[in-house]
Structure 1
Amino acid sequence: MIDVHIHVTPPNLPAAGPLAPILCDSPERIATVLRREMRHAGIRFACAIGCWSAGQPEDPLGIAASLAVAAQTPGLHVIGVADPTWTDPSQLQKVEQILAQGTVVGLKLYLGYLHYEPSHPHYRPYYELAARYNLPVFLHTGDTFSPKAKLKFAHPLGVDEVAVDHPEVQFVLCHVGNPWMLDAAEVIYKNLNVWADLSGLLIGDEQDFAGEAMQEQAAELAARLVKAIRYSERPNRFLYGSDWPLAPMLAYRSILQRILPPAWHELIFEENARRLFRWR
């Protein structure tokens, strides 16, 4: 199985907090816990999203902390964060140098948390770099963890414009735009270069996932999620992600396996991610 959306470092976003206490620990401790989670859940590969670097010249894609964990976690890859405040040509040249080294497997835009719409000119250089280096672009869509975020920038319909303008780039709608899943499904249906990941649709710890309230939430999620995937007519464009540590890997995987029709399992849990990242 492949988990395309996890975190191994605090996202460093305005008013978002660290997400979970484990992310404040040392890289060694995080790697130890993550290896166990991946083993129990049967996750062979995972993608860790970096943090917003806020223009730090030594780490323009916010990947240093994630790389430290990846060095101790077999199968862990890193996704860099596109910083819309990082616009000087010399600064973008530093970004390209990192991409040319093959250090990251994708780019992430924190829509909503950062007050820039996906079509903002400051993101255009990142799309051009993604096309040049064949990297998918992940975009936060839907609800946010920050009261300072602006939801209008995180609505999945905003991605339609850049999908049309950059047909050579593969775009991934994180969280299926939840709660706007049907809107996200329409963008996927219309654009062959748009995908979605299923991360962060249920959040809690082991105790929460074993409780009755979570089972009720899962039943409600099942109806909305399956409807959205069927509406899109493209189960080959959906990717499994857990958003760990916001959800235990094994518990989250088990619920998604129960929710999704068995005919989609091979696609969503592994095959689609292999095609997106061009992994054998």
Structure 2
Amino acid sequence: MAVVGRRQARDVRHRVMELSKLVAIDVHTHAEVSASRQESLSDELKSGASGYFGAGQQRPTIAEMAAFYRERSMAAVVFTVDAETATGHPPVPNDEVAQTCADHADVLIPFAGVDPWKGKIAVAEARRLIAEYGVRGFKFHPSLQGFFPNDPIAYPLYEVLAEAGAIALFHTGQTGIGARVRGGGGIRLKYSNPMCVDDVAVDFPDLPIILAHPSFPWQDEALAVATHKPLVHIDLSGWSPKYFPPQLVQYANSLLQDKVLFGSDYPLISPDRWMADFAALPIKDAVRPKILKENAARLLGLMK
């Protein structure tokens, strides 16, 4: 058994992402359960999100996600969200996400989640994750974490990310988390207006930023920010493409064709469903590969 274990370890270390063999790069997937079955959300918020998305109770581990994406010749960015201060619920550990992504480096790319309300602890955590694991970016969920992106409390974190060239990915718009739960589970939508991220893009002009999701009800604001600020991108996760607002499709096909990214929101939305619906959109042939893979590969530093 020890010999087999060493052989498997060597295989893991030698897994390398082969960009030319990938069909797509999904820049938005959630580690919602740890290998020990620790959940990232409370039962109340989890059931609300599942009902909103009609996603059932599917909660794959990170290793299971690797197998899922490998079968589809896709890569995926994986992250957890640390909203412990606001929710009282601990996240899936960042170290587990980063280490499991390293074990499956042919298909998984590690992001992390840190809680801005944890102050110096969060800053130290971000520095450590970048140094020890080469984490490529950090996911912020302003509505779930209960902060405005332009609140100075988060600025020391952005300084760490900007210095390292890491990406800041912000949830924007409405969220399925807390949907249909009494009082929305205490989650306030106001924090996720993309105009708040515009301030971050001004104050940290060298920080790569992704605005996650069609930003309903602020879709035009998101398009304006991404058009105006050179390092602001938009991912298309959280919605089936058949529901995309027409102006989002228009901008993805034209002014923002180099800044729009494929994202599913797996496991809440399957990349299979997303890709099937995306195929029906009137996207130009020259633009389609940019959205599915090329833009993300460039942003993530995967292109040589």
The TM-score normalised by the length of structure 2 is: 0.75
After superposition, the Cα gap between the structure-2 partners of 1:68 and 1:159, relative to the gap in structure 1 and judged at 3 Å, is same
Unaligned runs of 5+ in 2: 1-23, 34-38, 51-55, 179-183
Q: Distance in 2 between matches of 1:36 and 1:99?
A: 26
Q: Distance in 2 between matches of 1:72 and 1:279?
A: 15
After superposition, the Cα gap between the structure-2 partners of 1:100 and 1:181, relative to the gap in structure 1 and judged at 3 Å, is same
CA contact (8 A) 1:6 1:245 kept: yes
Alignment partner of 1:168 is 2:206: yes
Partner residue of 1:140 out of 143, 164, 171: 171
- What residue identity is the alignment partner of 1:165? D
CA contact (8 A) 1:185 1:229 kept: no
Match for residue 46 of structure 2? 17
- What residue identity is the alignment partner of 2:45? A
Q: Structure 1, residues 197-250: CA drift from partner, whole Å, max 9, x if none?
A: 011112xxxxxxxxxxxxxx81x42624313435x7121011101111112222
Match for residue 71 of structure 2? 39
Alignment partner of 1:75 is 2:107: yes
Q: Distance in 1 between matches of 2:195 and 2:93?
A: 27
After superposition, the Cα gap between the structure-2 partners of 1:80 and 1:36, relative to the gap in structure 1 and judged at 3 Å, is closer
Match for residue 246 of structure 1? 268
After superposition, the Cα gap between the structure-2 partners of 1:4 and 1:34, relative to the gap in structure 1 and judged at 3 Å, is same
Match for residue 205 of structure 1? none
CA RMSD for the aligned pairs?
A: 2.6
- What residue identity is the alignment partner of 1:17? K
Q: Distance in 2 between matches of 1:166 and 1:73?
A: 30
Instruction: Compute the displacement of 1:256 (Å).
Output: 1.5
Q: Distance in 1 between matches of 2:96 and 2:193?
A: 29
After superposition, the Cα gap between the structure-2 partners of 1:251 and 1:38, relative to the gap in structure 1 and judged at 3 Å, is farther
Look up the SS of the partner of 2:118 in the other structure: coil
Partner residue of 1:124 out of 148, 155, 164: 155
Q: Distance in 2 between matches of 1:8 and 1:107?
A: 13
Instruction: Compute the displacement of 1:2 (Å).
Output: 0.6
Look up the SS of the partner of 1:21 in the other structure: coil
After superposition, the Cα gap between the structure-2 partners of 1:118 and 1:62, relative to the gap in structure 1 and judged at 3 Å, is farther
Q: How is 1:99-110 mapped onto 2 (pairs within 5 angstroms)?
A: 99-110=130-141
Unaligned runs of 5+ in 1: 203-216
| Count of residues in correspondence between the two structures | 254
Q: Distance in 2 between matches of 1:60 and 1:13?
A: 7
Partner residue of 1:85 out of 90, 103, 117: 117
CA contact (8 A) 1:109 1:138 kept: yes
Q: Distance in 1 between matches of 2:159 and 2:65?
A: 36
Q: How is 1:40-59 mapped onto 2 (pairs within 5 angstroms)?
A: 40=72, 42-43=73-74, 45-52=75-82, 54=84
- What residue identity is the alignment partner of 2:233? W
Match for residue 277 of structure 1? 300
Larger Rg, first or second structure (1 or 2): 2
- What residue identity is the alignment partner of 1:108? K
- What residue identity is the alignment partner of 1:273? A
Alignment partner of 1:257 is 2:293: no
Q: Structure 1, residues 79-129: CA drift from partner, whole Å, max 9, x if none?
A: 1112112113x6522431221123411011111112210011221111111
Q: Structure 1, residues 16-38: CA drift from partner, whole Å, max 9, x if none?
A: 32755232x6x3xx534652354
Match for residue 234 of structure 1? 256
30-39 or 149-158: which moved more?
A: 30-39
- What residue identity is the alignment partner of 1:31? A
Instruction: Compute the displacement of 1:67 (Å).
Output: 3.8
Q: After the TM superposition, which parts of structure 1 deviate over 4 Å for at least 4 consecutive aligned residues?
A: none
Match for residue 142 of structure 2? 111
Q: Distance in 2 between matches of 1:112 and 1:33?
A: 26
After superposition, the Cα gap between the structure-2 partners of 1:150 and 1:164, relative to the gap in structure 1 and judged at 3 Å, is same
Match for residue 289 of structure 2? 266
CA contact (8 A) 1:37 1:248 kept: no
